[in-house]
Chain A
Amino acid sequence: MRPTVAIFGLASDYGCQVQITNAEDDLPALLGALDIVYWQLASSASLPEEYDVAIIEGAVTIEEHVEFVQAVRETAKVVVAIGACAVCGGIPALAGESLDERVLDVYGRVEGVAVGRRAPRPLSDFIAVDYTVPGCPIDAQEFLGVVTRVLLGLSDPVSDDPLCASCKVAENVCFFDSGEVCLGVVTRAGCGARCVGLGRPCMACRGIAPGANRQGLASVLAERDADLDTVRRRLAIYNSREGS
């Protein structure tokens, strides 16, 4: 029987849910393999009491989210976190520090606006996550691969490799050689180093590789006389805890 699936958006730009719809060629097959019972972005169906799989985009940024994701965890057999916001806090977590000052900055007051706000955190700070699809945005094909693993009940292996391995394979010119900082040294591989191939340094949107060699990064940075402050600040764009 097809598993029932609910797709949810927490604080995010919905880009990862949009990426699911961007797998146009595979969408009919995906809709055949999954019974999508709830998806506010694409369907008027209301949330049923039971479903097998929860796919969640976005960071936890309000108190209501905390209770909500806990309820989802109690209901779903499998929880899949998609995108940098859900996996490592991503861009929303950039607002984690001095939250009230930011509210004042944007709204001109702190009372009665951005109600229930809390420092943005990734999903895994609150509930167990069974599968992750990292990246900002997710890659539609990588998402389909993870869905296949969910359907087959396979595990969710996370590659130890940093992005540098992918750059070697793609024969990309290393940014460090031209005196620019690139975070690929510690970033979780799997995107094929697309940004570097297109002339942009890695910003670590896929999070830090489990096997990241932080000492290696430190020595590369020291050798190249790189600006450590720039590295920390860049790392904080998607991985706010790593940058501090």
Chain B
Amino acid sequence: MSTIAVEHVARIEGHGTISVSVKDGKLLHARLDVTEPARFFESMVRGRTYAEVPLIASRICGICSPNHTITAIKALEAAMSVDTTPRTALLRKVLVYGSYLQNHATHLYLFAAPDYVGAGSAFALAETHPHVLERALRLKKLGNELTTLVGGRSVHPITAVIGGFTREPPQTELAAILESLRAALPDALETVELFAAVNEPEFETEGDLLALVQDEDYAIYEGDVGSIRGGWRRPVSEYRDFLAESVVDHGNAKHSTVDGRAFAVGALARLSLSGKLLAPRAAQAAASAGVETGTVNPFRNNLCQAIELVDAIERCAGYIECFLEDDGESRPDAVRVRAGSGAAATEAPRGTLYHSYEVDGEGVVRSADIITPTAQNLGNLEADMGRFVAAVADLATDELSALVQRLVRAYDPCLSCSVH
């Protein structure tokens, strides 16, 4: 019999406990109990005026706050039929890419990397691999500089509002950060090499993989929802028709299924669905790292995030160049309040994030639904943990426990998001 139990698994955002048990090659249970307390955001925003809601929703997550802010804003704009300019979309994309750099650098280096060198934390890298830690901090800092420049600070953006931005970043500072982005490309490419060289277990998830998709772009800010196993594509506005949430008996996070089946979201899903649309250097890096469209090994989510660092740098630089040439407006017009309901989704660093709101004629939110990436991943993660442990149950418990924790971290879970 193999039993794995890890209380308050470390180097993830939020508290959760792993418990897997296998006997005679047969899985008894595989659970990630989300012990992080519930915070009831969907009830908190009910009765609040539209302008207050993105600010509150941002506080669901300290890492992907730009995504919660932007997704809430887009859903409220859809509900009240508020138009925005292409210039506003450019700034929002740069803000979201800032959070990609911040999230992926933090996750890959501070959370995941210690596993590969047998260290308890990234602090140990200061002694053993100082250049790696310095690279991590440079990439993370660049992400924070981007979100600060566009949003006003690194966590919980200030300037993004319904209809546009209250302040635009100065052109000179944008031109300067363009240089920083170009200079950061080697750091991102070295991150790909680092994670490509890691020997990950051979393993494939059985679940579906879902992400936003677009015909011409590696979808982050908008698009339809695509399924790799189902081969379908459906509009975000219909997400409740294909995505079901249910309360589970072991933790405060709900679990999601699509057409009755567990699924995963995040970098692995995005690359599987949109790998052909990566920016040029990212596409090269993916090819030389041996990542092909259709990769379904969840351990490879780390490598996919590394490739997305390259893509984020290239794409973000492109958006800033467009912005510098654009002579449009991003200042919001006065919002014309009207009753309606609207849904929106963006790709947060950890996967597809859905927000939907119903607004009354006074601009007050009457109901809200928020589905975070980690809540979508939990069911698939548990299924993966179970199948993985059953397949390699003859390993020593310590080794098995380390590998299961590595699998959990590869999903980059945000348990505080999942309970929101």
Stretch at the interface among A40-48, A143-151, A160-168: A40-48
Known contacts: A42-B110, A43-B123, A109-B247. The answer to whether A13 contacts B44 by CB under 8 A is: no
**Cβ contact of B106, chosen from A21, A25, A62, A105, cutoff 8 A:** A21
| Residues of B contacting A206 in the complex (Cβ-Cβ under 8 angstroms) | none
Are B37's CB and A117's CB within 8 A? Answer: yes
Whether a CB of chain B sits under 8 angstroms from the CB of A184 is: no
Are B121's CB and A42's CB within 8 A? Answer: yes
**Cβ contact of B62, chosen from A16, A36, A39, A237, cutoff 8 A:** A16
Q: How far is the CA of A154 from the CA of B12 in the complex (A)?
A: 34
Whether a CB of chain A sits under 8 angstroms from the CB of B166 is: yes
Are B123's CB and A13's CB within 8 A? Answer: no
| Residues of A contacting B166 in the complex (Cβ-Cβ under 8 angstroms) | 198-200
Q: How far is the CA of A234 from the CA of B155 in the complex (A)?
A: 21
Are B59's CB and A91's CB within 8 A? Answer: yes
| Residues of B contacting A222 in the complex (Cβ-Cβ under 8 angstroms) | none
Whether a CB of chain A sits under 8 angstroms from the CB of B412 is: no
Are B38's CB and A114's CB within 8 A? Answer: yes
| Nearest CB on A from B37, distance (A) | 5
Whether a CB of chain A sits under 8 angstroms from the CB of B339 is: no
**Cβ contact of B137, chosen from A27, A45, A137, cutoff 8 A:** A27
Whether a CB of chain A sits under 8 angstroms from the CB of B11 is: yes
Are A194's CB and B106's CB within 8 A? Answer: no
Q: How far is the CA of A180 from the CA of B140 in the complex (A)?
A: 36
Are B158's CB and A105's CB within 8 A? Answer: no
Known contacts: A18-B106, A22-B144, A113-B247. The answer to whether A200 contacts B123 by CB under 8 A is: no
Are B155's CB and A203's CB within 8 A? Answer: no
Are A114's CB and B158's CB within 8 A? Answer: no
| Residues of B contacting A22 in the complex (Cβ-Cβ under 8 angstroms) | 102, 140-141, 144, 154-155
Whether a CB of chain B sits under 8 angstroms from the CB of A157 is: no
Within 8 A of A (CB), among B109-168: 110-111, 114, 120-123, 126, 137-138, 140-141, 144, 152-156, 158-159, 161, 166-167
Are A41's CB and B158's CB within 8 A? Answer: no
Are B10's CB and A43's CB within 8 A? Answer: yes
Whether a CB of chain A sits under 8 angstroms from the CB of B56 is: yes
Are A44's CB and B114's CB within 8 A? Answer: yes
Are B61's CB and A103's CB within 8 A? Answer: no
| Residues of B contacting A15 in the complex (Cβ-Cβ under 8 angstroms) | 59, 61-63, 65, 155-156
| Nearest CB on A from B327, distance (A) | 21
Mask of B57-84 contacts with A, CB within 8 angstroms, 1/0: 0011111010000000000000000000
Looking across the interface, which residue of chain A has its beta carbon closest to that of B56?
A91
| Residues of B contacting A45 in the complex (Cβ-Cβ under 8 angstroms) | 10, 120-121
Mask of A191-210 contacts with B, CB within 8 angstroms, 1/0: 00011001110010000000
| Residues of A contacting B123 in the complex (Cβ-Cβ under 8 angstroms) | 31, 36, 42-43
Q: How far is the CA of A62 from the CA of B251 in the complex (A)?
A: 13
Are A24's CB and B137's CB within 8 A? Answer: yes
Within 8 A of B (CB), among A44-91: 44-45, 61-62, 65, 90-91
Known contacts: A13-B65, A31-B126. The answer to whether A106 contacts B14 by CB under 8 A is: no
Known contacts: A15-B156, A102-B40. The answer to whether A198 contacts B144 by CB under 8 A is: no
Whether a CB of chain B sits under 8 angstroms from the CB of A187 is: no
| Residues of A contacting B40 in the complex (Cβ-Cβ under 8 angstroms) | 95, 102-103, 105-106, 114
| Residues of A contacting B48 in the complex (Cβ-Cβ under 8 angstroms) | 233
Are B37's CB and A11's CB within 8 A? Answer: yes
Whether a CB of chain A sits under 8 angstroms from the CB of B206 is: no
| Residues of B contacting A28 in the complex (Cβ-Cβ under 8 angstroms) | 126
| Nearest CB on B from A235, distance (A) | 12
Whether a CB of chain A sits under 8 angstroms from the CB of B252 is: yes
10 closest A-B pairs by CB: A15-B62, A199-B166, A43-B121, A102-B43, A44-B120, A24-B141, A44-B10, A13-B62, A114-B38, A95-B40
21 pairs, A vs B, C-beta closer than 8 Å = A13-B417, A14-B61, A16-B62, A17-B62, A21-B110, A22-B141, A24-B140, A40-B15, A42-B110, A44-B10, A45-B121, A62-B37, A65-B37, A103-B40, A114-B40, A116-B37, A117-B37, A137-B153, A199-B166, A237-B52, A237-B55
Interface residues of A (CB under 8 A from B): 9-19, 21-22, 24-25, 27-28, 31, 36, 39-45, 61-62, 65, 90-92, 94-95, 101-103, 105-109, 112-114, 116-117, 136-137, 194-195, 198-200, 203, 233-234, 237
Interface residues of B (CB under 8 A from A): 8, 10-15, 36-40, 42-44, 46, 48, 52, 55-56, 59-63, 65, 102, 106, 110-111, 114, 120-123, 126, 137-138, 140-141, 144, 152-156, 158-159, 161, 166-167, 247, 249, 252, 254, 416-417
